[in-house]
Each structure stands twice: as structure tokens, then as C-alpha cells.
Amino acid sequence: MAAEKNPEMLEFEIPVNIGVNLDEISQMCHFLIVNTTQRSVDRAIEQQIVARLTKMIGLEKTPTMPRWIRRQVEKGEDARALAVANHLNDDPASPWYGKIRMANDEGDGATINQKSFITSLRRHIFSANNPLSNPVWDGNRPMILSNYWKAVVELLVDGSETQTVIFKTNGVELFHTVSPTVFTHLATRSDFKKDTIKALLKRGFDNLPPEHIGMSHSEWWHRGGAASGLNRGAIGKLANALSLAINVQDNASGVQL
């Protein structure tokens, strides 16, 4: 097409490297190495490939990879986080149904992209201080997180989902940041039911100091409102306030501690 406008383009030489008869896992590894060390590739595509490699690494012979890539593959966080995202995005009963724009997906109704969602999962759900990071929860983690978000939605979404920041990056970051506190309480009780989570979050909202009480109301989360303008520092401060409020306990005399 370029040569139709400028015939000299037909003489333009392009250097290429061609891998012949490479098996699938070698193709995946070479793609990942080239596109993460030479030229940037969409982070969502990288997450998908790392997740696939994690499943294949112990079953097939793999080519030599940079140490940092191998550590990422062997750790398996991308694979586990992607399993959560896929479940939440594909399950019709999930509050995130169709809301995560996965790699190479148009996702017309999506409110957040895979890259941001997976990054948030890795940073907060798979952090060392979150009980849900334990591999023992691999089978139930997607359902537990679905219950968690159902509780958040019932408390803070007033029916106009398209007008809420809950399903945007700020909402995801805040409630994933709070999640280690929530899941520590739930793990102690061995109770991850939606109503239990909802009651725990409501207690936290009820115990918030006056300067942060706004985030306990659905209007605060409407697009264009206070939640839309939060930066990472503000999100961290709000998440810490909610975590502290959740940890408030009642003693025998009825005085909050």
C-alpha cells in the first residue's frame, strides 16, 4: 500500500529473524523475551503469555530465558491472577461480568482493562499480608472475591452501575487495598459468605471518622464526584482509614476500642 504512493518503498530493506520449526512453548518464550526486553508489548498480552508458560514450564522443555522472566513465570502470580479475572469476567453471577477488557478483546461494556485489574490483584490479593494469597485458596479464591465484590456493590452501588467509580481503577484499588484486613477477619472465622463480608464492611463504614464518612455512601462513588479525582496517595489514606475502622472492636462494656 505504501509502494502504491511511493514505488521506492519496494527497495526498502527490513532486517528480520525467522525461527524455523519452533515448538509452541519456544515460540511463546521468544515472543515474551523479544517484546519485553527490546520493544514494549501490551502488558495484558505479557500477562497472558506468562500465565500460559506457568502451566507448561514443568511439562515441556523450555529455552533459556532471562532470570527475571523465569522467576515471574515460576512464581505463578500472573496465572493465578488471570484465573481470578477470567472467572469474575465470565461468570454471569459475578458483579464483574463483562466489565474487564481482556487482552485482544473489544469489551464494549468493560469498565477496566485486564492490565490494571491483574496488577491490582497481584499487588494486594497476592501480597504476603493477605490470607487469600495462600495457594490453598486457589480453588475457592475466585468465588470468595466474587462474594467480596457482591458485598461492596450491594452497599455502594445504587442501581446505576454505569455511573459508579466502584468498577473503575480507583474503586478496584481501594477495595483490593482493604482486602487483607477483610480476609484476615474472614479467615479467622472460616466464613467467606457474602452476608458476612457485607456486615464486616458495614461495621467499618459505621466506624469511619467524620472526614472519611463520605465513602460509605453511593453518591460519593458516582462518576464525576469525589471518588473520580482520587490519586494513589488519597486511595491509600482512605483504605487505611477503612481498615482501621473495620478493626474496631466492641468490649464488654459496649465502648468501642
How wide is the angle at C-alpha 70 spanned by C-alphas 130 and 67, nearest 5°? 115
Q: Which H or E element spans position 23?
A: none
Q: Which H or E element spans position 100?
A: strand 100-101
> What is the 8-class DSSP label of residue 39?
S
Phi-psi region of 125 (alpha: psi -120 to 50; beta: other; left: phi over 0): alpha
CA 215 vs. chain centroid, Å, equals 21
Q: What is the pLDDT along the chain (257 residues), one digit of tens a residue?
A: 888 888 888 887 777 778 888 888 888 888 887 777 765 556 677 777 766 776 666 656 666 666 656 666 555 567 788 889 989 999 999 999 999 988 767 657 788 998 899 999 999 999 999 999 998 888 899 999 999 999 999 999 987 655 899 999 999 999 999 999 999 999 999 999 999 999 999 999 999 999 999 999 999 999 888 999 899 999 999 999 999 999 987 543 343 44
Closest alpha carbon to 132 in 185, 92, 93: 185
Asked whether 46 and 36 are in contact (CB, 8 A), the reply is yes
d(CA 109, CA 77): 26
The number of beta carbons lying within 10 Å of the beta carbon of residue 220 is 16
